[in-house]
Amino acid sequence: MKKVGFFQSVRLKLILVYILLLLLGIQVIGAYFVERLENNLTDNFTNSIEGRLNSLTYSLQNAFEAERGEGDPSLQAEVEGLINEFNESDIKKLQVIEKTGPNIIASFDSGSDDRANIGKKVTDARISKVFILGETDPRTVRQDGTNLYVGEKPITTEAGEIKGVLHYQARMDGIYEQMQAINSIFAKGTLLAITVTALLGILVARTITKPLTEMKKQAQIMATGDFSQKVDVKGNDEIGQLGLTFNDLNDKLKLAQATTEGERRKLSSVLSNMSDGVIATDRIGAIILMNAPASKLIGQTFEEVQGQSLIDVFDLGDQMDDISEVEEAGSMIIDLSSEDKHLLVKANFSVVEDENEEMDGFISVISDVTEQEKVEQERREFVSNVSHELRTPLTTMRSYIEALNDGAWQDPDIAPRFLDVTQNETDRMIRLVNDLLQLTKMDHKETTLMRERVEFVGFYNQIIDRFEMNKDENMEFERNLPKKNMYVWMDKDKLTQVLDNVISNAVKYSPEGGTIRFDAYSTRKQLRVSVTDEGIGMPADTVDKIFDRFYRVDKSRAREMGGTGLGLAIAREMIEAHHGKIWAESKEGKGTSVHFTLPLMSQKRRGNS
């Protein structure tokens, strides 16, 4: 977070507010005080000057009215004497103008000798105006850098006749010097007040900004996820209440984070332990979340697909152009097969909405349905195969029965052959139905194994002997069986059926003069049994399919020999029920070997038995 400088801080702003408020108060008070003081000083000055000039005017008026004898001084001499006796420091200039002329009869100037002006005629309009109208209002003028109080007073007789005019100029520098001194005092006081206010402002601002600074630091700590610290509340004012609220917010955020973290962990645990894959995208279809099962299904890590489009990852470019079409699809089967692996996944798409109920992304739940699709395909093929296996004998029987009904039963040569074919087809359907019922019972775990302790080598020899008695003279049986006894805990009837199916297939598909080899030997805790023929064999890609229901390598030959296509499927179910395994190995033109294993009984259990 960017650090706040002092010139941008609240502390400086508070100090400036204090100083500005103080300056505003001082300026208002100072302006009012100075104005009132200036008016008072000016009034006092003018009143003092007016009083003294009135006294002088009264003396001049007596001088103008006095009767003079031969020995008395002249009017000019008496007036000059009065003016010279009027020794006032504030008076700069005095002139007495006689009406006749009008001429200056006496003059005084504190700054220079003004006697040269005596006897001169006055042409000033203001002087003439006084002779005509009487006394005029005094005025303030500035002359040579000095403020002067200037005016004229008429010199009248008792009868009211104006005999002369007293012109005066008084210096007002004293007033302005006092005002300047007072302003200087105000300025110094203002600076002192500003300094004190700034210091107090710093202290006051610190008391306000320190809690705010602590809250800022606490907020920065909270941003890192640490909610263990709290703001120290030192008062009950607004800032204190803000601190309490901040601490309350800290507690609530801590609880909210704990709740969110708990929910996140639950969600993470759910996603991690789901058997189905989950892929989340944003509103434009870019992948933002994927769990481990989804990564395993698509064969890519989250880091590899993060940010990629869901359409590209699922290779749906041929089926849809925009991610919005995913919502319309709802669910679909996606083929993710590769060269070495067949994989079908089912994807269910759901929309994620934000608080405004607008689409904010998609959640895709994917699951491996390869086996389900395989089972479904096998079910369809099973129904088709059963229908085909039943339809063929039923069609044959129907044809022969119709021929018999049409009169063939009366023919002694044809009737027996037709009935024999019908009988064989009936037997074939009965075998098919019995095999289907047996498979159904095994699928539903309804078959109970009657297990007993059996010495397998002797049991195996008995089965081979039975087939050897009925074999073709040109067919050879080769036995590679151990001399020692090997005991197996098994159901003799079920294993007899398994061996009958395996050996009968070897006999059926062996060529004339061929050899069938029988092997049995132990490997660790298991017995391994093999039956090998020298028949036509089968392609490598079909070997694993011979244990599927109704699968035949040579369908026409199998039907001619009366096979139902269920013998090896039943054999697999029975061997697996005995906790064994059955498989085949074959090469085209070189024959086929069928192998199966069974658990051997332990020595301890064999002895107890």
Q: What is the mean pLDDT of residues 291-316?
A: 81
pLDDT digits (tens, 9 = 90+) for 557-566: 444 444 556 7
User: Quick check: is 473 in a domain?
Assistant: yes
Q: Based on the domain organization, do 534 and 515 belong to the same domain?
A: yes
Is 90 exceeded by the pLDDT of residue 518?
A: yes
**CA 241 and chain centroid, separation:** 32
State in Å, rounded, how far the first CA of the chain is from the last one.
83
Q: Which of 231-240, 290-299, 429-438, 501-510 has the highest mean pLDDT?
A: 501-510
Q: What tokens does 307 get?
A: 């940010």
| Residue 2 within a domain | no
Q: Write out the residue range of the structural domain in which residue 91 sits.
A: 12-179
How many Å apart are CA 239 and CA 233, to the nearest integer?
8
**Quick one: pLDDT at residue 57?**
80
Asked if residue 283 is part of any domain, the answer here is yes
Give me the phi and psi of 349, to 5 degrees please. Answer: -105, 135
User: CATH code at 490?
Assistant: 3.30.565.10
> pLDDT at position 455, please?
93
Same domain, 406 and 306: no
pLDDT at 143 over 90: no
For 318-332, 386-400, 548-562, which range has the lowest pLDDT when averaged over its residues? 548-562
- Min mean pLDDT across 267-271, 336-340, 552-556 is at 552-556
SS3 at position 348: strand
Q: What is the mean pLDDT of residues 304-316?
A: 80
Mean pLDDT check: name the lowest of 182-191, 581-590, 597-606. Answer: 597-606
Average pLDDT for the chain? 78
Confidence grade of residue 438 (pLDDT, cut at 50, 70, 90):
low
Is 259 among the domain residues?
no
CA atoms of 564 and 555, how far apart (whole Å): 10
What mean pLDDT do residues 35-49 have? 83
Which pLDDT value is given to residue 289?
82
At 508, the amino acid letter reads K
Mean pLDDT of 70-78: 72
Is residue 379 over pLDDT 80? no
List the CATH number of the domain containing 396.
1.10.287.130
317 and 287 part of one domain? yes
Joined together, the tokens standing for residue 548 give 């599927």
pLDDT at residue number 456: 92
When mean pLDDT is compared across 71-80, 179-188, 477-486, 551-560, the lowest value belongs to 551-560
Q: Distance (Å, rounded) from C-alpha 592 to C-alpha 508?
A: 12
- Over range 106-117, report the average pLDDT: 71
Q: Is residue 335 part of a domain?
A: yes
53 and 24, same domain (yes or no): yes
Torsion over CA: 496, 502, 504, 506 (sign):
negative
Q: In Å, what is the CA distance from 99 to each residue of 65, 122, 152, 157, 168? A: 14, 10, 13, 13, 17
Residues 25 and 158 in one domain: yes
Residues 6+ apart with CB under 8 A from 454: 487, 488, 489, 490, 492, 495
**In terms of pLDDT, which residue wins out, 3 or 467?**
467
Per-residue pLDDT for 15 more than 70?
yes
Tens of pLDDT, residues 242-251? 778 878 888 8
Average pLDDT over residues 426-444: 68
pLDDT digits (tens, 9 = 90+) for 263-285: 778 777 777 777 788 888 887 87
Q: Count structural domains, the chain.
A: 4
Q: What does the pLDDT read at residue 558? A: 46
Which of 179, 199, 232 is the endpoint of a domain? Answer: 179
pLDDT attached to residue 531: 93
Examine residue 578 and state whether it is found in any structural domain, yes or no. yes
pLDDT for the residue 597: 92
CB atoms within 10 A of CB 493: 11
- Would you state the pLDDT for residue 338? 74
* Least reliable range by pLDDT among 8-12, 163-167, 261-265: 8-12
| 7 against 516, higher pLDDT | 516
Mean pLDDT of the 302-316 span: 80
Residues 25 and 172 in one domain: yes
Whether 379 is in a domain gets the answer yes
Highest mean pLDDT among 78-82, 211-215, 417-421, 580-584: 580-584
How far is it, in rounded angstroms, from Cα 108 to Cα 460?
Answer: 167
Question: In sequence order, what E strands does 357-482 have?
Answer: 359-368, 452-455, 476-480
Which residue would you say has higher pLDDT here, 326 or 51? Answer: 51
Same domain, yes or no, for 529 and 578? Answer: yes
Q: What is the model's pLDDT at position 385?
A: 64
Q: Which of 422, 443, 464 is the last residue of a domain?
A: 443
Q: Evaluate if residue 586 carries a pLDDT over 60.
A: yes
- Say how far apart CA 45 and CA 57 lie, in whole Å: 18
DSSP of 93-145, one letter per residue?
A: EEEEEETTTTEEEEEEETTS--GGGTTPBP--HHHHHHHHH-----EEEEETT
Q: Do 465 and 317 lie in a common domain?
A: no
The pLDDT value recorded for residue 206 is 73
Among 289-298, 316-325, 462-471, which range has the highest average pLDDT? 462-471
Q: Cα 473 to chain center, whole Å? A: 84
Q: At which of 368, 395, 429 does a domain end?
A: 368
Band (116; pLDDT cuts 50, 70, 90): low
Q: Are residues 416 and 359 in the same domain?
A: no
Q: 493 with 557, same domain?
A: yes
| Number of residues written out for the chain | 609
Selected residue with higher pLDDT from 184 and 556: 184
- CATH number of the domain that residue 281 is part of: 3.30.450.20
> Can you tell me the distance from the alpha carbon of 218 to that of 199, in angstroms, rounded to the nearest whole number?
28
Reduced to 3 states (helix: H, G, I; strand: E, B; else coil), residue 72 is: coil
pLDDT at position 417 over 50: yes
Bond preceding residue 539 cis, omega within 30 of 0 = no
Q: Check residues 557 and 354 and name the one with the higher pLDDT.
A: 354
Q: Are residue 278 and residue 297 in the same domain, yes or no?
A: yes
Give the pLDDT of residue 559. Answer: 46
Residue 338 in any domain: the answer is yes
pLDDT at 435 over 70: no
* pLDDT in the model for residue 8: 56
The answer to whether residues 102 and 54 belong to one domain is: yes
Reported confidence tier of residue 516, pLDDT bands at 50, 70, 90: very high
String of DSSP letters for 454-481: EEHHHHHHHHHHHHHHTS-TT-EEEEE-
CB distance 351 to 359 below 8 Å? yes
Encoded tokens for 385? 């195969």
